[in-house]
Chain A
Amino acid sequence: MRYSIMLQLVTTISVIFVAGAALFAWIQNRQIEPIQEMGINHEFDRNLLIY
């Protein structure tokens, strides 16, 4: 039973490792969208400068 519990533990740990590797791969490979210039913000900034 102790070995059975440990086998389940090792299986869980292995799943965590594979999931961790997949998460790492996704983070490293994800496409980061460039921040788009927002015209309204420029308008807002200009208004701030005026007032």
Chain B
Amino acid sequence: MRNLLMQNPIAIATAWIGVYLLIILSPLLILLLYPASPGRGFWLEFSVALGFIGLAMMVLQFALTARIRTIEAAYGIDIILQFHRYTSIVAFLLILVHPVILFVNDPETLQLLNFFEAPWRARAAVVATLALTLLIVTAIWREKLHIPYEPWRIWHGIFAVTAVGLGLVHAFGVGNYLSLFWKSVLWALFGLVALWLLVFVRLVKPWQMTQHPYLVEEVVPERGNVWTLVLRPRGHEGLTFQSGQFAWLTLRISPFRMREHPFSIASSTEKLDCLEFGIKSVGDFTSRIKDVEPGTVAYLDGPYGVFTIDRYWDSAGFVMIAGGIGITPIMSMVRTAADRKDDRPFLLIYASRSWEDITYREDLEVLKDKLDLTIVHVLRKAPDDWQGETGYVDQDLLERYIPIHRGSRHYFICAVPKMMDQVERALHDLNVPVDHVHMEHYNLV
């Protein structure tokens, strides 16, 4: 039983949600240690409780985004980041409702919005709420506002620290409940944990990265406007990873500048002397990859991700469904399987724009000789003499290729979000067990 709880992913995931609820509600639960205060009215207490919950949720965002491997291993980092996005919006709404209830309940409190005459605890709340509003707006509409990723990331951190720091200042300044001993201890602990996570992410982790540098070996052009960045570890043994995982890459600059980008590893886990990343030229950073000179210093933070066949050693085989650059982690998986002389069947359904755009096309052909690998290319713009599949990866196409015994395989999907959603729905309609479908959203930011 104990072993089941320690290893079952659903049990672990449920346990983490329980821990999350307990931490968020602990500021309210701890008040049960004290006798109830003289009644200040239901709405005032409700408003205060929402404020405490919202602030605790914001503090925990630091833990969600600190890339803590034990948490990340239970869900996958893309799920954690999506949870971070959703819960940030909930926290924002709770924090906004907190003063609104006060204003409606007691209109005189509207005077607290007078920034020049209000007490400093109210000013802290106003600035914290403004910072939180800017944080949410710039995070949701970053692309529509045309904010480049790197400055956005710096400002995201500044807004978050301002919102949480001044939120704590406000809570301690009001002091209605924080004058209670255990309550103040708890919030001081929250503040210290947030501070430690900040120090860990901004200082400790970058320092660890500087101790394990890499040098760019070469930059190889691939089909489909993709570049393979080859890194060689310098003075250490290199990254130990599972096939399909990814790492955050810092190029040319110090990791303390926090301008890193997530990329999937495309090479085999059996070849640690060189790491390969498949990078498609689409943005500010990626469009400059082709100009990187050999010998350039690089740093890695990783590996991360649960999108790997290594977790399913007893599966009878695998079905891989890739779209465009989504082939990168799948390349790592099939290369590793070939190096390990894995004798299980692999089916790769690979959607590309055209025959000429199929990234790693020749490498995949070579792998067919080393592995029980079947490749189904699906082209959106097929040449006239094309005999293969065209259009999109839909339910009819999948039904023609996936095995009748659906549960005998594990299914890995990596593509643009729209394609992943369609394929996931189609697999569900084809009675593929939900826990046999694995996905990785590679647009993390």
Contact = CB atoms under 8 A, between A and B. Distances in A.
B interface bracket (residues with beta carbon within 8 Å of A): 35 or more
B31 A17 contact: no
A36 interface: no
Interface stretch (B41-49, B126-134, B254-262, B290-298): B41-49
B151 interface: no
A14 B97 CA distance: 13
B285 interface: no
A interface bracket (residues with beta carbon within 8 Å of B): 20 to 34
A21 B27 CA distance: 11
Contacts of B382: none
A22 B48 CA distance: 10
Interface in B419-444: 421, 424-425, 428, 434, 437, 439
B83 A17 contact: no
Most chain A Cβ neighbours within 10 Å, of B24, B37, B50: B50
Nearest to B93: A14
B17 A9 contact: yes
B79 interface: yes
Interface string A35-50: 0000000000000000
Contacts of B94: 17-18
Contacts, number: 77
B57 to A, nearest CB: 8
Nearest to A13: B21
B283 interface: no
A3 B45 CA distance: 34
Contacts of B82: 3, 6
Given A13-B17, A21-B53, A29-B41, A1 B434 contact: yes
A20 B48 CA distance: 12
Contacts of A1: 421, 424-425, 428, 434, 437
A25 B424 CA distance: 43
A24 B30 CA distance: 11
A49 B41 CA distance: 45
B83 A25 contact: no
Given A24-B49, A25-B46, A7 B40 contact: no
Interface string B15-42: 0010011001100100110001101111
B90 to A, nearest CB: 5
A7 B87 CA distance: 10
B42 A29 contact: yes
Contacts of A16: 21
Nearest to A26: B42
B17 A21 contact: no
Contacts of B424: 1-2
Contact of B28 (A3, A21, A31): A21
Contacts of A13: 17, 20-21, 87, 90
A20 B45 CA distance: 12
A14 B43 CA distance: 18
A6 B57 CA distance: 16
Most chain B Cβ neighbours within 10 Å, of A1, A3, A13, A17: A17
Nearest to A28: B45
B115 interface: no
Contacts of A27: 32, 36
Interface of B: 17, 20-21, 24-25, 28, 31-32, 36-37, 39-46, 48-50, 53, 57, 79, 82-83, 86-87, 90, 94, 421, 424-425, 428, 434, 437, 439
**3 tightest Cβ-Cβ pairs between the two chains A and B:** A21-B49, A25-B45, A25-B46
10 contacts: A1-B434, A3-B82, A9-B17, A13-B90, A18-B94, A20-B25, A20-B28, A21-B28, A25-B48, A27-B32
